[in-house]
Structure 1
C-alpha cells in the first residue's frame, strides 16, 4: 500500500467498488455443498476463523505476516484440503477471487475490519468479522448500511454472546431474582494504552509486509509494541480497553437490563491516566447513567479497566460472597446481588449459598 492512503479515502474507494463488483458469489452453498471460505488475519483470534474454514473449504488466506501466512497454508494442506491461494493484501484477494469466495472471516487488527468487510460485501461475499465491528462508530453505521444494500449475510463475533450461560443470566435478571437492578460494576480485566511517546523506529521484520499491515492508518515507521498483539494500545489501530473488552463484559448487562430502550444516557469519567502521543488512556473508570426504561429503574453502571481500580465497597461485597475480584460484572438489585463472569461464561446469584 505504497500510497499510504488515509482512512477516509480508503473507505470511500472501497464503497465505490459496489457498482463494479456486485456480480460476485451469492449464497452459493446449499445443503450438500461446502462454503468457499477466505480468512483474513490467520493468527491470534484468526485461529477461530481457521477452525471454521477447515470445516468447510478454505480457498484463500490473507495475512500481512508472511510467516503466519505460510504456517496457515500448511495447516490447510495438512488437514487434507487443496492448497489455498495466499495473499498479504486482502484487496488483491477480493479483486482476483471475485465469484470464487462465499464468505470472508475477518480477524485482522481493528483498523482493518471495516475496509476489508466493505470490499467483501460489495463483491457479494458474506462476512463474519470479529469484534469490535469497526474502528469507530461511523464505520459500524457504514458497514450496516452496505450490508443492507448488498443483501449479504453478516455476523460479528463476540465470545459468549450465543452461549447458554448468557441466555440464562438474562432470563434470571429479567425475572427479578435480585429485584430491580440499580447499580452494576464491571471489571474489564485489561489496561491497554500508555504514555511516553513513540518508541524508537526500526526496520520492520523481514516477514512483515509493513505497508499492508498499516493499511488505511496514517503512515508511521515500524517500531516495537505493535505486531502481533500490542497494537491494541494505540489509537490508530485499536480501540482501547473499553473498545476491546466492553463488548464482552457489558454484553449480558446491555441485553438483560434493556439498555437499548433508553433514549439517552450520560457518561462521566472518574479516573484516567496517560493517553498522550497516540496511546490510549489507561486506568479508566467511567460511570454510565441509564434512565429508567420499561420496567427497569435508573441504572448507574460503573466500568473499570482492571481490578486495581475497584473501590472498597465492591471488594467487600466480593469478600462477603467468597469471590476473588476478576474479569466480572456485579449486579446490585433491590433483593440481592448477581455476578456474571467475563463473556458471561459463568453466572451466579450472590452470596453463593443463595444461588
Structure 2
C-alpha cells in the first residue's frame, strides 16, 4: 500500500459531528466474524474481550511474533493465522466482517486504513494514529464509507466517567475555565540511541514489525515487545498512552475541539526517545460548557503533577495517582483514574453529589465497581453496532480529534518551552518548522 494511495486527500475536515446515518447487520447469519491484527499484550486483552461476545466468531489472527500467534491459536483453533496483515486482508476479505487493530502505534493507521478500504468496520487501539495527518485521513475515510468504528478507550464506557460527563454538562461546577490532568507513568527515554545490533529472535519478523517505519537494526530490550511506547518512531509517550484515557472524559464532557496553542515544558529533543517528564499546556476555543477559552495542563513523569492550588484537596489528602481536575465557576470536580467516583469540592470542602441535577436520569445507569463486568462494555458496544443493535460512543469522528489533540502535544515536545499555534481549518502550524512532524514517509516493506 503506497503512501500516496493511503493519503489521497489530507484536506482539513469540517468539524460538524456526523455519525454514520445507518448501521447494518454485516453477517448473513446474524453473527460477526472478526480478524485480529496484533494478539499479544493489549492485543490479547482485546481478543479476549471481543470474543467474549456471544455473537462473535474469530476467523483470523495476525501477529509478527510466532509465539504470540501460537498462544492465540490455542484459544481459537478454527481461526486462520497470518504474520502479514496485508496478506490476511486480501485473502480473507470475503470472510471477515470486522477488524480489530491492536498493534504498536505506528501500525494503527496503515492496518486500519487498509481494512476500511475493503469496507470493514474497525476497532483500533488508542491512540488512534501515530501522526496527525493519519488521524484526519482515518476520520475522513470512516465518514465517506459510513463505517462503524471505535477507538479502544475502554473507560469511555465505564460508569464513573459517564457520570462525570453528565455532572459537568448539568452545570455542577458552572462553566469550566481550567482542566489539570496527570499521570506519573514514564513512557519516555532520555538515554542515547543504542549502537550496534542484536540477532533478531527466531519468533519475530523484524521487517513486518517495523512495517511502514524507517529501517532500523534490531536491539534487544528497546523495541519489541514492551518498550516501543518510549520511542519517537513507534509510540506516543506517556501522553499518547495514559493521556488518551485521562483526557477523554474532560474532552468529551466539555465538547472540545482541537486546541489553538500548545506548549510543552520538557528536556531538549534527542531524536530517539520521548522526554521522561512533560508539562503540556493547551488553550482551546470556548464551548457552551467552558469559559471563553479553556486552559488545559497535562503533567507526566516521576513526581507528576506539580503542586498547584487547583489541585489542593480537603483535609490535606493526597491526590489520586492519576486523574483530572475540572476547575469551574462554582467549584471543582476531581475525577480519579480509575474505578473511583468523581468528587465535588466547593469552598475547600467535599460535597455530596446531587444526581437530581442530571436531566436525563436514565443515562446515569447503576454504579459498577467491578472491572470484569465494566471492561467488556466498550468492546461489546462495537460488536453490537456492527450488528445494527447499538451506536459506538468513541467512533473515529470523535476519537480522531481527541488523538489529534494528544499528538499536537507530542509534537510540541520537539520544541521545548515554545508556544505552537495550530490552525484547525488548514491543519497546519503557524511555525513552519513544526509542520514536518505532522506526518512521516512510509517505507515500502
With normalisation by structure 2, the TM-score equals 0.68
Residue 207 (str. 1) matches residue 199 (str. 2)? no
Task: State the shift of 1:342 in Å.
Answer: 2.2
Aligned equivalents of 1:165, 1:35: Cα separation in 2 = 29
Specify the alignment match of 2:71 in structure 1.
71
Residue 28 (str. 1) matches residue 20 (str. 2)? no
Q: Secondary structure at the match of 2:198?
A: coil
Q: Structure 2 vs 1, CA of residues 104 and 121 (structure 1 numbering), >3 Å: closer, same or farther?
A: same
Aligned equivalents of 2:34, 2:244: Cα separation in 1 = 26
Is the 1:236–1:278 contact (alpha carbons within 8 Å) kept by the matching residues of 2? yes
Task: State the shift of 1:299 in Å.
Answer: 2.4
Specify the alignment match of 1:242 in structure 2.
239
Is the 2:176–2:289 contact (alpha carbons within 8 Å) kept by the matching residues of 1? no
Q: Structure 2 vs 1, CA of residues 295 and 42 (structure 1 numbering), >3 Å: closer, same or farther?
A: closer
In structure 1, the gaps of 5 or more residues are 1-8, 17-25, 78-82
Aligned equivalents of 1:106, 1:125: Cα separation in 2 = 12
Residue 320 (str. 1) matches residue 315 (str. 2)? yes
Q: Structure 2 vs 1, CA of residues 186 and 295 (structure 1 numbering), >3 Å: closer, same or farther?
A: closer
Specify the alignment match of 1:233 in structure 2.
230
Q: Which stretches of structure 1, 4 residues or longer, exceed 6 Å deviation after superposition?
A: none
Q: Structure 2 vs 1, CA of residues 15 and 301 (structure 1 numbering), >3 Å: closer, same or farther?
A: closer
Aligned equivalents of 1:311, 1:28: Cα separation in 2 = 49
Moved more, 36-45 or 281-290: 281-290
Specify the alignment match of 2:178 in structure 1.
183
Specify the alignment match of 2:367 in structure 1.
none
Aligned equivalents of 1:192, 1:46: Cα separation in 2 = 19
Q: Secondary structure at the match of 2:308?
A: helix
* Equivalences, count: 329
Q: Secondary structure at the match of 2:191?
A: coil
Task: State the shift of 1:112 in Å.
Answer: 0.5
Aligned equivalents of 1:108, 1:316: Cα separation in 2 = 35
Aligned equivalents of 2:32, 2:99: Cα separation in 1 = 10
Aligned alpha-carbon RMSD (Å) = 2.4
Task: State the shift of 1:334 in Å.
Answer: 2.6
Specify the alignment match of 1:216 in structure 2.
212
Is the 1:186–1:329 contact (alpha carbons within 8 Å) kept by the matching residues of 2? yes
Q: Structure 2 vs 1, CA of residues 307 and 325 (structure 1 numbering), >3 Å: closer, same or farther?
A: farther
1:279 to 256, 270, 273: 273
Q: Structure 2 vs 1, CA of residues 162 and 221 (structure 1 numbering), >3 Å: closer, same or farther?
A: same
Is the 1:10–1:115 contact (alpha carbons within 8 Å) kept by the matching residues of 2? no
Residue 38 (str. 1) matches residue 42 (str. 2)? no
Q: Structure 2 vs 1, CA of residues 179 and 27 (structure 1 numbering), >3 Å: closer, same or farther?
A: closer
Aligned equivalents of 1:279, 1:14: Cα separation in 2 = 27
Is the 2:36–2:62 contact (alpha carbons within 8 Å) kept by the matching residues of 1? yes
